[in-house]
Each structure stands twice: as C-alpha cells, then as structure tokens.
Copies of this chain bind each other. A is one copy, B any other.
Amino acid sequence: MTGDGAARRRATLLDVATRSGVSAGTVSKVLNGRGQLREETRKRVLQAAQDLDFHIGPSAGNRRAQRSFAVGLLTTDSIGRFSIPALMGAEEALGAGRISVLLADTRGDPFRERHYLEVMAERNIDGLIVMGRRCDPRPPVVGPRELPTIYALAPSANPADVSVVPDNAQGARLAIEHLIATGRTRIAHVTGPRDHLAAQVRADVTVEALGAAGLDLAGGRVHYGAWSEEWGRQAAHIVMRAEEGCDAISCGNDQIGRGVADALREMGWRVPEDVALVGFDNWAVMAASCRPPLTTVDMNLTELGRQAATLLLHAIEGHPEPGVHELPCQLVVRESTGPSAPRPI
C-alpha cells in the first residue's frame, strides 16, 4: 500500500526531519525562519532539505507553515481490546516522525464525539484517525472543519473516505483452508451474533471455502450466538449432537474457541486428535491459555494502526488514498490443529 505512494511522491517535510534527526516542528521553524535555533541545527536541516531536493513552494509554504504537527486519535472503544493495539501502532508510526498524538475516547457517545472534535479543531490538529470497535461501517465524523481523516477498524460508510480494516474474509479463508489441509472434512462453524458484520463475513466465507473443496458445513448450518466462552460451551454440545463424526470446529473468536475446547474435554473428546479447533483474534491470553493452546487468526492490529498513520500522513501531505484498504490477516498455528487420530478401519 505504501510502496506505490513512496515511489511517486516527492520528499516531505517529515523526510527532512527524519534525515536531520530533529522534529518536524524544528524543520518547519528553520524553513520558515521562525524561532530560536542553534546554528548547527539550522545547517543540518538545510543540508538535509537540499539533499532530498525538498523546498517549500509558495502555496505549500503557506499551508505547511500553519501545520501543528499534532494529529487527533479518536477512539470509540472504551473496552480497548481491539483498538489499543491499533492505537499503539499508530502512535508508534507517528511518534517516530515526531508527530504528537492527541487522544480522546468517545465511548461510542455522539455528544462526546462532537465535543472532542471541537476541542481538537481548537488545537488546530493536522488530521484525525477515527478508530472503531466493530467492523460494521460507521457514519463519517462531522467536525467544525474538514480535516484529513482516516477510519481504522470500523470503515466510514462513505466510500470516498479513507478506511483501513482487517481482511476478515481472507482471515476466515486461512482458518478453513488450514483445517482442510490437515485432513479435516466434517467442519462446523460457531460464531457471534448474526447482526455483526464480522460474524456474517466469516461465516459466509467459511461456507464458500468448504464448498470450493467439495465439502458441506457440518451440522448443516452456521451456529450464531454470542462472542463468549459460555456460548462456546453450549455450542459444542449442540454441534457434537448435530453431526456425528464432526472432526473440526471453526470458531468466530478465541473466547468461543476456548469455551468449545473446555466443553469438548469435559464430554470426553480429545482436541486435536478427535476434533480440531481454530479461533479468531489471536487474543494472546485467551488463545495461549486454552487447553490445548488454540490455533487462531491474527488481524495484525498493530500493523493496521501503523498503516492508518501512514495513510493519514499521505492525506495530510495532499495525497489521500480513498477507499477501504483491507489488511491481510495471518494464521497462528498452535496445538489445537495438530494431527488427527488415525481413523478406525
């Protein structure tokens, strides 16, 4: 996503800052002749600007001189399990370029959201990252003025906006293809609420990927429920009754996976010998403490945060990349999908 942009874009003020080892604010001061700076610093910045063939044109100069080198990070997720790694990735990518991050948590409350958008506008931020909790699209933010804005995790409902989200479909496909590759053929799917887009997408892809391999969903239907261990425990009973010989269960998240693992053990089924299990999220404490440790899909949320920051910097520099950018997931293999027991002949 960034390679293409880097090839065509000219050196930016940030590049000069990185090369000269000072903050973007200092570069701005040098190039605009503002502030008190050591002569040595001034020379280093000017040299770096020359090396990179960077110069502030008349119009760009006006715009850049007004920059605050601070961006807003608006999170709507007071729980934080998904937004925090992404937030840390964004903070890292921005901090390395010495862009300050202004943090605000709206707790999903539209009044708080409006309040914080005003506060941030007063701060004259250069841009905004809006970080959601669920994958369902959200209405675009409406602040006191137009700002370069990136939506992360929850995409904007307006396709002209810039959004970056995990590729749920590709992630779900990884899980199913791994189960098939390890020889499982009677695969059930237990997931969260039917009205959550993430649950729907993962379930649809599961059915589709099984079909592509000439397989049907074990038990004949997707088991929608809650994102909880309790639902996982209940569902394990339902699944094992519905499909004799079920040899794998793909779970919509790690909590469900863990509940399924506990219930299977208590029913006397061995994981992975009798039934293989895959989760989703790679929530370390949940997946690694599962008995046995759970194979799962990692959404690379820290990287997603970094990409959001990179897209924001491009947008601030005048190169927005509109549309929904999907970031690939990766499979983390643990014991729950080890070899199956030999079939009785």
Contact = CB atoms under 8 A, between A and B. Distances in A.
A17 to B, nearest CB: 11
Interface in A67-105: 70, 73, 78, 80, 84, 87-88, 91-92, 95, 98, 100-105
Given A73-B103, A101-B103, A80 B84 contact: yes
B229 A289 contact: yes
Interface in A25-58: 25-26
A224 interface: no
A244 to B, nearest CB: 26
Interface string A96-125: 001011111100000000011001101100
Contacts of A262: 262
A122 B78 contact: no
Contacts of A23: 119, 122
A95 B119 contact: yes
Interface string A329-344: 0000000000000000
Interface residues of A, number: 35
A88 B285 CA distance: 22
Interface residues of A: mostly helix, strand, loop or mixed? helix
A255 interface: yes
B105 A102 contact: no
Given A95-B116, A122-B25, A229-B289, A102 B104 contact: no
Contacts of A92: 105
21 contacts: A23-B122, A70-B123, A73-B103, A78-B88, A80-B80, A80-B88, A84-B84, A87-B103, A88-B105, A91-B105, A95-B115, A98-B122, A100-B102, A101-B103, A101-B104, A102-B102, A102-B103, A103-B103, A229-B289, A255-B285, A262-B262
A230 interface: yes
Contacts of A170: none
The 5 closest A-B pairs by CB, nearest first: A103-B103, A229-B289, A80-B84, A101-B103, A100-B102
A102 B104 CA distance: 10
A258 to B, nearest CB: 8
Contacts of A229: 289
A12 interface: no
Contacts of A100: 102, 119-120, 123
A228 interface: yes
